Chain A
Amino acid sequence: MQTIENLKVKEKVYIEKLENGLTVMVIPKKDTLKKYLIWGTKYGSIDSEFIVPGEKEKTKVPMGVAHFLEHKMFEQENGTNSLDVLTSLGVDANAYTSNDHTAYLFECTENFYEAMDELMDYVQHPYFTDENVEKEKGIIGQEIKMYDDYPEWRVYYNTLTAMYYNNPIKLDTAGTIESISEINKDILYRCYNTFYHPSNMVLVVCGDFEPKKMFEEVKKRLVQKSNVGEIVRLYPEEPKEIVKEKIEQKLEVSQPLFTIGIKDIPENCNIENKNIMVKKQIAIEILLNLIIGRSSELYQKLYQNGILYSQPSLEYEFSNTYAHVLITAQSNEPEDVYQKVKAEIRHLQTEGISEKDFLRIRKMIYGGYIREYNDVGDIARMFLADSMKGINSFDYLEEIEGINIEYLKQVLNEVFKEDKMVLSIVKN
């Protein structure tokens, strides 16, 4: 058992890698009634081509399988649905699929161990039939259509389409009505058997628990599985260049919604490289705030001129195979904002970064990290998502003080390049 303590936020994480390869993390929260368990597998919407351990030929599956599998995991052979069972226990259960992982979770104040029984049981016992797979196509079809009506969702995927030639990140997590029509129970079993092996999974628990006891509780509920080799994930070659600079879609919105994307070169995501990833992400967060954050000159000017009326959302998404910056907002003049962001980046690149501004923004980012530790659910989800990239969430608090202006300048020049920028707009 490994114990990592962070003295700033005053929390500890206990980590154990079990014999079958499963990583378990416990973050104890004394005197908290809420409890949270999340079990994730490193298998997301981008993993549609791979070599199953022990095989030679590659397997290619339709887009949307990871998400489809997530939906179908709840169905049990005895005719029950685990979501119903968990709900009957009074726990709030859910699941989600992201680009790089799928997770099953519940939050509760009571009946924790009963819920843990059910969750660990259903994740380890898939039950797919032709009939139950068919029926799910109707429900997921409506989920896809719901997202079609979300302008935020459209502008996001269009940005990725403008940036990426081949990387599957640009495809909708849920797939399309056509792609899911090809899914059958054999494909689901094949993906399940490949990716739902303990060695590809991480389980995180947060709440008022004794870590050693929790590790035992997890072990007790594990089904024996033989060790398997490494999954080889195949991702298509991705050029460094963007596909096209501009992309537009028509949707009924009150005001155009836009995203400025900047395509970056992904770092190798592994434990050895984690400090670089963490530092780079912090630096990009600081830079984005210096460029167009709430107190920035550019944002203030755009706000006063009525071009922006709320602060853009600023993000950096990355994995082994993709990395990009996203700046999203609503404006009647997206093109104007785009040009001004470019100009501001050039300005910072040539004129340099003010020490005072940098220190202030760094303080703000620090506060943001501390704030993540208020809620058991936020904590558990954060530790899980970061662990999928080989990062321990405390690393952000450890690395932030070491970020200096020199490093910021380096990242500003390496990442914020004009020829890597795209503009995606959704408007009437």
Chain B
Amino acid sequence: MEYIEKELKEGIKIHQIKTNKFKTNLMAIFLTTSLNRETVTKNALISSVLRRGTKNMPTQECISKELEEMYGGAFDCGLDKSGDNQVLKFYLETINDNFLPQSGENMWKKTIEKLLEIVFNPLVENGAFKEEYVNQEKENVKLRIESKIDNKAKYALDRCIEEMYKGQPFGLYKFGYTEDLENIDSKNLYQTYKNLIDNCKIDIFVSGILDDNLEQYILENEELQKLKPRKPDYNIAKIISKKAEKENSVAESMDVSQGKLVLGLDLDVGEEEARYHALLYNSILGGSANSKLFQNVREKAHLAYVASSSYIRYKNNIFVNCGIEIENYDKALNLIKEQIENMKKGNFTDKEIENAKKGIISGIQAIEDEQDTQIVYYYGQELSQNKMSVSEYKEKVMQVSKENILSIANKVTIDTIYFLKN
């Protein structure tokens, strides 16, 4: 494995990951921009409109057929909230030439051309996106926003975050808001797109068996050559300490047969090193089948099937998730709080720390065996401007001590308790 990073122009980077572990060529383009209420919906809509047609592949049918001809090139676009950034992600995965039934294809060249075309050369009519596409995609985005209620557990988590970050960028829903759609048209959306492309941070990843001409294909691409250098408008993901003043409880009703309980925790630590400590703390609290939550809420009290927690490192928060009988709310909440209190008292053993480390390290070691995870790993470093090899990362985790974890435990406060019931 070899990782080469190159700045093409200011604010535009090419990341090459040379690896022979995969059958596929994976290319990704990430557009990173600061998250705000004014553009959140427009950006979500842009990512939908781009996949509808390009200058040279003007319809979705055309794009689909081209990709199918490439042995089912898998195009995907997604939208992420990474800290206070909105990230538009575009992927194209194709089969490497070595595994095609016949030789003579140049799959990398086609992959690079097609993905750059979709992102940077959209179908434009009279200085605007094609109106028909924009109107259809507005409907599409509206449905997507409305569908946030369909996955109840995910919805409960999103609502908890929204409550915790009221009026702040991270509290925004990544697909935006239906009421914004009315005022968007093909012209102003295209202006937003131009603005995004001129000012966002652009990261282009290529991963797989890379041929020697690959860099050249990218450098010679006309769409890329047209892009201007920029001082990218995004937020570097730095750790921020937070302390909840008081516990905020929110309960809402929906037609559910199981109650979904989410706790949002704040961490009052600000040093970069604390990330590793928090990772360990979370693992012991609710990150695995050995964790306090799994063992006590599920295995001992039999209150839940799902009882876990996760650490959102970009925002320095931990979220606890449980699916419970609605009448067991008090019992479950008390039990969760008891686990948090026990952690503060240092009621966790060296064995638990060691186990948690093993689990985390196993995950770190697997990074290089998963093509998309590896891209996300390097992107995460790019975003936090903190470059580290997989082995350095492992070393950081190894060094975390019981004192480190205890100190995190005592800086944890409960910010929001969200309950979805019927």
Task: Enumerate chain A interface residues (CB-CB to B < 8 A).
Answer: 8-10, 31-34, 81, 83-84, 87-93, 107-111, 135, 138-140, 142-143, 145-146, 148-149, 151, 251-255, 257, 294-295, 297, 300, 303-304, 306, 309, 330, 360-361, 363-368, 370-371, 373-376, 401
Contact = CB atoms under 8 A, between A and B. Distances in A.
Interface stretch (B17-25, B112-120, B181-189): B17-25
B359 to A, nearest CB: 5
Interface in B86-124: 93-95, 98-99, 101
A149 B72 CA distance: 34
Contact of A88 (B24, B68, B358): B358
Nearest to B148: A254
Nearest to B367: A33
Contacts of A9: 23, 99
A109 B362 CA distance: 6
Interface in B333-381: 351, 355, 357-359, 361-363, 365-366, 368-371
Contact of B289 (A87, A252, A257, A365): A87
A139 B71 contact: no
Contacts of B2: none
Contacts of A300: 59-61
Given A10-B99, A142-B258, A145-B258, A360 B65 contact: yes
A363 B289 contact: no
B149 A252 contact: yes
B213 interface: no
Given A142-B305, A375-B369, A295 B289 contact: no
B299 A142 contact: no
Given A10-B99, A295-B61, A371 B366 contact: no
B264 interface: no
B146 interface: yes
Nearest to A252: B255
B4 interface: no
B24 A374 contact: yes
A367 B305 contact: no
A194 to B, nearest CB: 27
Nearest to A92: B362
A108 B71 contact: no
Interface stretch (B135-143, B273-281, B309-317, B399-407): B135-143
B258 A361 contact: no
Contacts of A376: 369
A294 B69 CA distance: 13
7 closest residue pairs by CB, A with B: A90-B358, A367-B71, A364-B72, A138-B302, A367-B72, A295-B64, A109-B365
8 contacts: A31-B21, A83-B289, A87-B355, A92-B363, A142-B304, A146-B306, A366-B101, A368-B72
B101 A8 contact: yes
B146 A254 contact: yes
Contacts of B306: 142, 146
B370 A146 contact: no
B68 A361 contact: yes
B147 interface: yes
Nearest to B21: A32
Contacts of B358: 88-90, 110-111
Contact of A363 (B24, B68, B147, B351): B68
A90 B359 contact: yes
Interface size class of B (residues with CB under 8 A): 35 or more
Given A87-B355, A252-B149, A374 B371 contact: yes
Given A9-B99, A146-B305, A374 B366 contact: no
B368 A254 contact: no
A325 B288 CA distance: 37
Nearest to B59: A300
A111 B358 CA distance: 10
A88 B258 contact: no
Interface in B35-87: 59-61, 64-65, 67-74
Given A90-B358, A371-B23, A252 B254 contact: yes
Contacts of A84: 289-290, 295
Contact of B323 (A142, A361, A366): A142
A304 to B, nearest CB: 6
Nearest to A138: B302
A90 B366 contact: no
A33 B355 contact: no
A273 to B, nearest CB: 26
Given A90-B358, A367-B70, 13 more contacts: A84-B289, A88-B290, A88-B351, A92-B363, A110-B362, A139-B302, A140-B305, A145-B258, A151-B150, A254-B143, A303-B60, A371-B72, A374-B371
B247 to A, nearest CB: 25
A375 B370 contact: yes
A425 to B, nearest CB: 14
Given A90-B362, A255-B147, A360-B68, A139 B101 contact: no
B223 to A, nearest CB: 24
B195 interface: no
A426 B43 CA distance: 31
Contacts of A295: 61, 64-65, 68
